[in-house]
Structure 1
Amino acid sequence: MHEWIPVSTSPKGRLALAAVTEFGLRPFDEVTVAELSAAAGVTTGALYHHFGSKLGLYAFVREDVEQRLLDRMEGALAAGQPDRSAAVTSALLVGLDFAVRESFLRILGDPPAGTDHDRLADMLGRTTAPVLGQVLAAAWRAALTAVAEGAEPEEARAAIAALMVQTPLSG
């Protein structure tokens, strides 16, 4: 087992599981250290001991959740769509479905807290163009936020599909 994967019954593991749930459902700023600690059944001191801060805990779980998202999206990009535009749209839809299914709407729908590095925009920018990657990441996150605020997932899927992404770079 890798060191960074917490055992779910350990205090660190329970904090990580609580954070995935809480940050998945609510924006970073609305989740408190006390709520995270209570949900994990630990003291606030345990949170600070294991993660240094609420932001440290958020970064820990965000990295894991985001890597799972990117793995799925990169798989969709590599799945042999007839053209890159179709592949990008497919990847965005696969990512949307994953975030909805796993209740990761807020943790993935909000831009990364505490950093300017946006791994989703970077991945999309490598596939299309850097600025287009930023625009697509923002649109994708807006679709997740809409679902988090009550829109039907099918409406968000239709909005993503309607983007009709044009990839300016060749193969």
Structure 2
Amino acid sequence: MKNWIPIPGTNKEKIIKVALEEFSLKGYKGVNIAELAAMADMTTGVVYHHFGSKAKLYEIIRTDMEQRIIDRMEGAASLFDQEGEALEAALVTGINFAVKMKICKLLSEEKPYTNQDKVEEFLTYMLQKENLPLDIVVLSSWRSILNAISSDQITHEQGINLVKWLFRS
């Protein structure tokens, strides 16, 4: 069992719930730890005691959300034999999950630390047989679509249609 999984009802769980909402709404740079702590009815000292820093709290939340989305994307991709169809299904599934969980903003931004995100690893793996680094284009498109959904520039349906457009022959 991972040591950061909070026990229901604990301060750690409260902080993670509030932090997930805040990072999903405002992104990494927009979150202020003092405000987050107040929203969780905690002091900043409690937040730093449990997580050490804003970056570590963000990393825990981001890594968890990435794993959840990758589990769904891999499942969707496994249903198709054609690589293009598999990748399209994975991206559509990922967008659907991100919209449902309200984490489009969270997943649309580049990480403030150096670890490669799991979606990027997944796309690189899915596109490794190509002679061009298409993962760069697909990852940029993925992030742009999620960001546009999170800022109400496009609808969820328009985001799905953009993914489908990317894979038209």
After TM superposition, the score normalised by the length of structure 2 is 0.91
**Are 2:66 and 2:117, in contact at CA under 8 Å, matched by a contact in 1?**
no
**Are 1:23 and 1:58, in contact at CA under 8 Å, matched by a contact in 2?**
yes
Bigger drift between 85-94 and 123-132 goes to 123-132
**Are 1:124 and 1:133, in contact at CA under 8 Å, matched by a contact in 2?**
yes
Equivalent in the alignment of 2:12: 12
Equivalent in the alignment of 1:169: none
Please report how far the alpha carbon of residue 57 of structure 1 lies from its aligned counterpart in structure 2 after TM superposition: 0.5
Q: Distance in 2 between matches of 1:131 and 1:121?
A: 12
Match of 2:139 among 137, 157, 162: 137
**Are 1:8 and 1:17, in contact at CA under 8 Å, matched by a contact in 2?**
no
- What is the aligned residue count? 165
What does the per-residue CA deviation read over 1:114-167, in whole Å, with 9 as the maximum and x for residues that have no partner?
12413211111111138222321221111010011112111111111110178x
Runs of 4 or more consecutive aligned structure 1 residues displaced over 4 Å after TM superposition: none
What does the per-residue CA deviation read over 1:54-100, in whole Å, with 9 as the maximum and x for residues that have no partner?
11100011111110011110111112x24110110000000000000
Equivalent in the alignment of 1:125: 124
Change (3 A) 1:165 1:111: farther
Give, as a single letter, the amino acid of the residue that structure 1 aligns with 2:36: L
Q: Distance in 2 between matches of 1:98 and 1:118?
A: 17
Give, as a single letter, the amino acid of the residue that structure 1 aligns with 2:83: R
Q: Distance in 1 between matches of 2:69 and 2:137?
A: 18
What does the per-residue CA deviation read over 1:25-49, in whole Å, with 9 as the maximum and x for residues that have no partner?
1111011001211121110001111
Give, as a single letter, the amino acid of the residue that structure 2 aligns with 1:145: N
Change (3 A) 1:56 1:165: farther
Q: Distance in 2 between matches of 1:124 and 1:11?
A: 36
- Structure 2 unaligned runs (5+)? none
C-alpha root-mean-square deviation of aligned residues, in Å? 1.7
Q: Distance in 2 between matches of 1:97 and 1:73?
A: 10
Identity among equivalent positions (%) equals 35
Q: Distance in 2 between matches of 1:113 and 1:9?
A: 29
After TM superposition, the score normalised by the length of structure 1 is 0.90
Match of 2:163 among 160, 164, 168: 160
